[in-house]
Amino acid sequence: MSGLLDALLFPGERHPRGPDPGPFSYPQAYKAYLRREFRSKCVYCRVPDGIKGYEGFGVDHYLPASRFPGLALAWPNLFYACNVCNTWKSDSVSTAGRFLPNPCDHRMADHLQYRGAEVETHTPHGEWLAELLHLEERKGLREFILSALVGFVKARIELLGDLTAMEDRLETAQSADERSSLEAAIQEATEELERVERQIERLTGEPL
Ligand SMILES: [Zn+2]
């Protein structure tokens, strides 16, 4: 189960950014590519867009376009972020004393990490990010996501067990009646499994 929940943690390694899909003439054109690049999750709070919806996300300029117009369309300056993080981050920029961690230039987990719904900061930079984006105050949404995810992951494990047991019984079924009722039950459990797996993918942003 931990593997699936890990999708919502800050990564321990830097994200190797893929090639520039552009050039494009306006930032919004990068959004779908950024979504794919950053696995459908906000790079700053790790909330998946399956929760907030694609329209709840946007293109973040790490160095704000208002202060660095030359970087408004620079692929390495663009990140996938939820609108809440993007709004709180606003036009903040790193100074000589502290920087805002981002997943391409920094190992996010060195600076901050989640423990369940709680955010823990390890450096002044992680502390600044958590404060600026109000991560602690937004833990309610994270609690909701985690508890829903745990429920779906448990349901998936149970369904996979049920399916294996029913498939074993089908192999040794003696009568046509028994076979057809097992086949119907397998069909139903398979459909339920697909539904549960879609929910897990929605909550983690990761394909199963
Ligand atoms: Zn966010």
Which residues, 6+ apart, have CB-to-CB distance to 123 below 8 Å? 110, 111, 112
pLDDT higher than threshold 90 for residue 45: yes
* 197 within 8 A of 208, measured Cβ to Cβ: yes
What was the pLDDT predicted at 1? 57
Distance in Å, CA 35 to ligand 1 centroid: 13
Q: Which residues pair with 120 in a beta bridge?
A: 113
Distances (CA, A) of 4 to 77, 158, 204: 29, 16, 7
Distance in Å, CA 81 to ligand 1 centroid: 5
For residue 132, which amino acid is it?
L
Distance in Å, CA 22 to ligand 1 centroid: 24
Distance in Å, CA 138 to ligand 1 centroid: 10
- Rounded to an integer, the average pLDDT of 29-42 is 97
Distance in Å, CA 110 to ligand 1 centroid: 18
Q: With bands split at pLDDT 50, 70 and 90, how would you rate the model's confidence at 2? A: low
* 205 within 8 A of 40, measured Cβ to Cβ: yes
Whether pTM exceeds 0.85: yes
In this predicted model, what pLDDT tens digit does every residue of 105-162 receive, in sequence order? 999 999 999 999 999 999 999 999 999 999 999 999 999 999 999 999 999 999 999 9
Distance in Å, CA 48 to ligand 1 centroid: 9
What was the pLDDT predicted at 95? 87
Q: Any idea where the domains of the chain sit in the sequence?
A: 2-139, 141-204
